[in-house]
Amino acid sequence: MAADPVSVLQKLWGFPDFRGVQRQVVDRVLAGQSTLAVMPTGAGKSLTYQLPATMLDGTAIVVSPLIALMHDQLRAAEAVGIRAATLTSVDENKAETRGRFLDGELDLLYIAPERASTADFRDLLERGRVALFAIDEAHCVSEWGHDFRPDYRLLRPLLDRYPDVPRLALTATADAHTRADILDQLGIPEDGMIVAGFDRPNIRYAISPKDNTTRQIADLIRDTPGAGIVYVQSRAGTERMADSLRTATGRPVRAYHAGLDPEVRRRNQADFVASEDMVICATVAFGMGIDKPDVRFVAHAGLPKSIEAYYQETGRAGRDGDPAVAHLFWGAEDFARARQRIGEVEPARQPGERQRLNALGALAETAGCRRRILLAHFGEHPPQSCGNCDNCLSPPDAIDATETARKYLSA
């Protein structure tokens, strides 16, 4: 293994250097050490397994929860000349892919977690050469996490068949409890965790009670030039919101949700990515796998699912590092509905869900720095005041905020 990682990075991707903790993660993987990398969305997690995959002997098996994301990743990997394939129920060239793996002609093989437990796949791996197991969206393995997928629990027996093959778990969204759970579930040593900084200093956070949400968001749009995303909870809501905002602001506004005709959905997404001033009203289905650096604002017309979800969704703003705004509008009815929904999930999960909602309530209701609460949630200890959130920029009446906090958080 003569090549040095930076020269591989430059040669394949054309990037001058690694970013943040990428180099640390890559070095561990190349040294055969199992690792959990907690890195924010957009930090460049994919590269931390793709690059070692091109340098190590054998194939990196990449576990990914969504077939659509897998195909995006595949295209991106192939675009830089990495030999990659997916092995999923929708692929028609499975025999060919198996052959390429057995012949040692694949750097990366993407699979869904449920495949890991099949005898077929176990046999295939036995007959080839595995260099690395990369587990993307690793929080899915934890019941404590916000997106538990039971299929992720099927991975461990397969991993344990290869004690000498390093495991690389990747996630953007893990609080301390979830992280500990991932290490435990996937058999990664505690000192194998690398956490990247979560702060996005160019994003200005603001959170307001709803008054007239459509008018409030129209005002935000008028004040904020550039492209933006408005997250709306229901499919019908995205279309209503798009119509109202279009009329109110005169900006190009489109709707996006999973129920739209696929052709329309594709077009709206592509136009948004290309546009400098379009606003898209979307359900949370929108955003995963979209790489648009110049989103200038993200608005929430209601409560997100959790602080992790809020961080991930607002994180789609300002990836280019230029100033961007994240503005959440919430009402008491959002909390009431969320509490009701918690009452309907299986009892074992209710305490975790309730804690998640309370954390969100604390963020919404604080009279202090929003960023501080957000980062503390990810285990960081930022200064008392960030100077770039609504409360730091214009401190609210502390007594008022405490009153409302009591009203919504106690019940």
* Chain positions contacting ligand ADP, by CB under 6 A: 15, 18-19, 22, 39, 41-47, 291
> Within 13 Å and on the Cβ side, how many CA atoms surround 392?
14
Our CB check for Mg ion shows the closer of 43 and 325 to be 43
Our CB check for ligand ADP shows the closer of 22 and 224 to be 22
Question: Is there binding between residue 305 and Mg ion (CB under 5 A)?
Answer: no
Measured CA to CA in angstroms, residue 102 lies from 67, 106, 107, 119, 123 at distances of 23, 9, 12, 16, 11
> What does 47 interact with, of ligand ADP, Mg ion, none (CB < 5 to 8 A by kind)?
ligand ADP
Mapping DSSP onto H, E and C, the string for 243-295 reads HHHHHHHCCCEEEECCCCCHHHHHHHHHHHHHCCCCEEEECCCCCCCCCCCCE
> What does 18 interact with, of Mg ion, ligand ADP, none (CB < 5 to 8 A by kind)?
ligand ADP
Measured CA to CA in angstroms, residue 110 lies from 131, 203, 243, 299 at distances of 13, 33, 40, 34
> What does 257 interact with, of Mg ion, ligand ADP, none (CB < 5 to 8 A by kind)?
none
Our CB check for Mg ion shows the closer of 76 and 180 to be 76
| Residue least distant from Mg ion (Cβ) | 45
CB 338 within 8 A of CB 355: no
Kindly calculate the radius of gyration of the chain based on its CA atoms and give it in whole angstroms. 22
Q: How far is the CB of 167 from ligand ADP (least distance, A)?
A: 17
Q: Give how many residues touch Mg ion by CB under 5 A.
A: 1
Positions 210 through 249 that interact with Mg ion (CB under 5 A): none
Crossing angle of helices 5-12 and 22-30, in 10° steps, is 120
Give the separation between CA 92 and CA 151, rounded to whole angstroms: 23
Our CB check for ligand ADP shows the closer of 18 and 148 to be 18
Binding segment for Mg ion (CB under 5 A), chosen from 8-16, 45-53, 182-190, 313-321, is 45-53
Buried b (16+ CB within 10 A) or exposed e, 102-134: eeeebbbbbbbbbbbeeeebeebbeebebbbbb
Q: How far is the CB of 347 from ligand ADP (least distance, A)?
A: 34
DSSP structural state of residue 410: H
> What does 43 interact with, of Mg ion, ligand ADP, none (CB < 5 to 8 A by kind)?
ligand ADP
| Residue least distant from ligand ADP (Cβ) | 44
Indicate which single residue of 28, 45, 327, 377 sits in contact with Mg ion (rule: CB under 5 A): 45
- The CA-CA-CA angle for residues 407, 410, 411, to 5°, reads 90
Our CB check for ligand ADP shows the closer of 18 and 101 to be 18
Our CB check for Mg ion shows the closer of 142 and 312 to be 312
Q: How far is the CB of 49 from Mg ion (least distance, A)?
A: 10
Q: How far is the CB of 312 from ligand ADP (least distance, A)?
A: 9
Q: How far is the CB of 24 from ligand ADP (least distance, A)?
A: 13
CB 339 within 8 A of CB 311: no
> What does 15 interact with, of Mg ion, ligand ADP, none (CB < 5 to 8 A by kind)?
ligand ADP
Our CB check for ligand ADP shows the closer of 18 and 256 to be 18
> What DSSP letter does each residue of 343-354 carry, written as one string?
HHS-GGGHHHHH
> What DSSP letter does each residue of 95-132 carry, written as one string?
HHHHHHHHTT--SEEEE-GGGGG-HHHHHHHHHS-EEE
Site of tokens 């008028």: 222
Closest to 289 (Cα-Cα) out of 306, 269, 274: 269
> What does 20 interact with, of ligand ADP, Mg ion, none (CB < 5 to 8 A by kind)?
none
DSSP structural state of residue 182: H
Q: How far is the CB of 21 from ligand ADP (least distance, A)?
A: 11
> What does 41 interact with, of ligand ADP, Mg ion, none (CB < 5 to 8 A by kind)?
ligand ADP
Our CB check for Mg ion shows the closer of 45 and 146 to be 45
Q: How far is the CB of 170 from ligand ADP (least distance, A)?
A: 7
Our CB check for ligand ADP shows the closer of 46 and 366 to be 46
Measured CA to CA in angstroms, residue 398 lies from 56, 367, 409 at distances of 57, 6, 16
Binding site for Mg ion (CB under 5 A): 45
